[in-house]
């Protein structure tokens, strides 16, 4: 499967993991996942299956009517008889600190809300199919989510980050500086592409060499949900990519892998770079720029979105470029910037005209 495209491989691996989890769930879950199959992505189904496995594990350990049962033996009749809104609320409290398969976990409001959403989806499905007499999850309030401040790099931090990646002496350790010189051209291209296009880390990792049209400053990305889009980049990004492509070709020629690896961005092992590796390199460089900011690739995406919104004042353009299916998602993330626009607008209308 060496020539399998990144997203095909990603989906296959997620499906395999999803199927292994579903096998451990009550049998009626097969009907549920079949029913939602055409309207949900594999990643959503995997997340739902994982969250439901935690829910059923909670039932057989904590809830009257289920304690002592095997998860596979739970029936819809059991759920209808023994679960009320109180048990769902108990589940949310339980999620604050719990043990699952021998490992301790803790969940804040966002993680609790996601698990509640998975349970609600299951109950709603079977209630609509007349296989549950009531949907008790509809009576349970969603945990209140506290909005986190959007972390992004300031303009001077963007310049400092690019300078840091390009610098030969950026770390205290001589060994680390020497090591990072081996990946400098690649890392510059990755950081520049993030800051110059706002793509997601999964989109960057998934780019193949034949997705890149360097002549026309364009490339294809597979968005969330599987949609393919063509994005464009500036001459500044093009320069970084061209330097990197020379580095990439030399590495693969030396390793006799030039025709064997189609991934655009490769590791020092000459294979497709991983999401974790990209996250680590971004964290490494931003740690030099501003140790007080926890910056991930997604924060570089926010940095780009902020810069684009400030330049264009067009929220719909930002939504289109970032691949947001709902412009309200874009508004939610960049609403704070509206204050800049409002402040600027306050100076545009003059109530009295000055006499010459």
Domains observed in the chain: 6-139 (1.10.150.130), 155-339 (1.10.443.10)
Q: Which residue has the tokens 């020629």?
A: 253
Question: 346 pLDDT exceeds 90?
Answer: no
Per-residue pLDDT at 309: 84
- Answer yes or no: is pLDDT of 3 > 50: no
Say what the pLDDT of residue 310 is: 81
Q: What is the Cα–Cα distance from 211 to 37, expressed in whole angstroms?
A: 29
Q: In this structure, are strands 218-222 and 228-232 parallel, antiparallel, or unpaired? A: antiparallel
Q: What is the C-alpha separation between 55 and 225, in angstroms, rounded?
A: 26
Q: Measure the CA–CA gap between 25 and 48, rounded to whole angstroms.
A: 12
Q: Could you report the per-residue pLDDT of 79-99, keeping only the tens digit for each?
A: 999 999 999 999 999 999 999
For the segment 259-285, the average pLDDT, to the nearest whole number, is: 91
pTM for this prediction: 0.75
| Cα dihedral value 77, 136, 31, 39, nearest 10 | 180
Catalytic (active-site) positions: 200, 224, 298, 301, 324, 334
Average pLDDT estimate for 155-167 = 86
More reliable by pLDDT, 175 or 262: 262
Instruction: Report helix, strand or coil for 161.
Output: helix
How many of the other CB atoms lie within 10 Å of CB of 128? 11
CA Rg value for the chain? 25
């Amino acid at each position: 499967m060496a020539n399998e495209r990144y997203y095909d491989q990603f989906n296959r691996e997620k499906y395999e993991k999803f199927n292994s989890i579903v096998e451990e769930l009550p049998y009626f879950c097969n009907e549920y996942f079949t029913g939602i199959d055409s309207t949900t992505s594999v990643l959503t189904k995997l997340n739902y299956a994982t969250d439901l496995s935690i829910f059923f594990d909670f039932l057989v350990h904590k809830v009257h009517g289920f304690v002592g049962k095997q998860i596979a033996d739970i029936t819809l009749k059991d759920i209808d008889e023994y679960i009320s809104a109180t048990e769902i609320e108990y589940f949310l409290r339980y999620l604050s600190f719990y043990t699952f398969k021998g490992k301790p976990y803790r969940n804040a409001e966002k993680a609790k809300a996601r698990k509640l959403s998975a349970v609600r989806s299951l109950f709603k499905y079977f209630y609509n199919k007349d296989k549950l007499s009531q949907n008790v999850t509809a009576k349970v309030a969603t945990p209140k989510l506290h909005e986190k401040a959007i972390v992004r790099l300031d303009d001077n931090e963007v310049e400092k980050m690019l300078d840091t990646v390009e610098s030969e002496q950026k770390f205290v350790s001589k060994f680390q500086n020497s090591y990072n010189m081996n990946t400098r051209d690649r890392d510059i291209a990755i950081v520049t592409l993030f800051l110059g296009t706002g793509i997601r880390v999964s989109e960057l990792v998934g780019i193949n060499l034949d997705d890149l049209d360097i002549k026309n400053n364009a490339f294809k990305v597979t968005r969330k949900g599987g949609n393919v889009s063509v994005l464009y980049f500036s001459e500044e990004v093009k320069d970084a990519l061209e330097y990197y492509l020379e580095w990439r070709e030399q590495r693969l020629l030396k390793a006799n892998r030039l025709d064997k690896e189609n991934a655009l961005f490769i590791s020092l092992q000459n294979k497709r770079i991983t999401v974790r590796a990209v996250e680590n390199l971004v964290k490494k460089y931003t740690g030099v720029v501003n140790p007080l900011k926890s910056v991930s690739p997604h924060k570089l995406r926010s940095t780009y979105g902020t810069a684009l919104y400030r330049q264009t004042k067009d929220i719909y353009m930002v939504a289109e470029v970032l691949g947001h299916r709902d412009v309200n998602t874009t508004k939610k993330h960049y609403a704070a910037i509206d204050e800049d626009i409002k402040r600027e607008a306050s100076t545009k209308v003059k109530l009295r005209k000055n006499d010459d």
